[in-house]
Amino acid sequence: MKSSGRKRIGVHVGTAGGTWTAVERAVAAGANTFQIFSSSPRQWRAAAVKPEDAKKMLELRAKHDVGPVSVHASYLINLCSQTESVRENSVGAFRGEVERAMALGAEYLVLHPGSWKGLTREEGLRLAAESIVKAVDGIDFSQTAAPGKEFRILIENTAGAEFSLGGKLEQVAELVERLKPCAPVGVCLDTCHVHVAGYDLVSTDGYVETMMVVGDTVGFEAVKVWHCNDAKAAMGSKLDRHEHIGEGTIGAEVFRKLLHDERFAHAAFIAETPVDAPGDEARNVGVLRTLGAG
């Protein structure tokens, strides 16, 4: 796939009818990057990727210059749970997520590390790292459906709810550091999560200070994807409620700054905004595209 040099702006899309159909949905929405689930995000069991689906997806991506592709891991996965059976199920499910993402030729697999309720923060961090290491044991990360493409597991920051690993950017950075020896890793930052976790993106000084924290913790280069979501809730509320771009408590100007921030020129910007009416995917991509123009 040859890059057109355009900003990579996209949206989370469905895969009904086959995973390859996600490319067509993304293109129809005006996107040149996208995110999908590789299976139901609310079920443990998942079917393997059909080789013909992966082949068609790669062909369509090349035809339309679409990428990178991000797969979002199941919401059921909790790799730092205090309950051993939950962790074991999560390890197996996460391994399946890695295998499916690689089989599809996706560049990224986004993961919420989980909740350490009932444990200490340090115990939760240790269990998350150990569980991920166990899940990827023996996987050859060079063997993807798209030779020459770089595959990475991206640790996503969370909204800061109590016991949720990743609410602080320092926690994301610590987990990434622990994983570097065993897996290709990076970071996904979510604007709504950053905002409701208490980091100021909105004020001029706050944006500067928050970006200093990003640079000092996870590092700018490690951020491969920004989930671009406005927020229904207030800064610091810890409520993860996404809103259409420019219609929430973050506001359009933050996304304009982010899209023009040269420190993230390498990143993909993918909306996970609500779909309240037909055409909402295209509407939010269009707003981001307009804000990123020039």
For residues 76 and 215, give the distance between their C-alpha atoms in angstroms, rounded to a whole number.
30
For residues 25 and 263, give the distance between their C-alpha atoms in angstroms, rounded to a whole number.
29
Active-site positions read: 42, 72, 75, 112, 156, 190, 193, 227, 240, 242, 272
Residue 46, both tokens = 């998942």
Are 224 and 154 spatial neighbours (Cβ–Cβ below 8 Å)?
A: yes
Which residues are within 8 A (CB) of 123 and not within 5 positions of it... i.e. 6 or more apart? Answer: 80, 116
AA letter at 153? I
25 φ, ψ (degrees, to nearest 5):
-65, -40
What is the 8-class DSSP label of residue 264?
G
What are the helix and strand counts (H, E) for the chain?
A: 9, 10
Residue 154, both tokens = 């991206």
AA letter at 228? C
Q: Kindly state the helix (H) or strand (E) to which residue 99 belongs, with its residue range.
A: helix 84-104
For residues 113 and 102, give the distance between their C-alpha atoms in angstroms, rounded to a whole number.
19
For residues 247 and 250, give the distance between their C-alpha atoms in angstroms, rounded to a whole number.
8
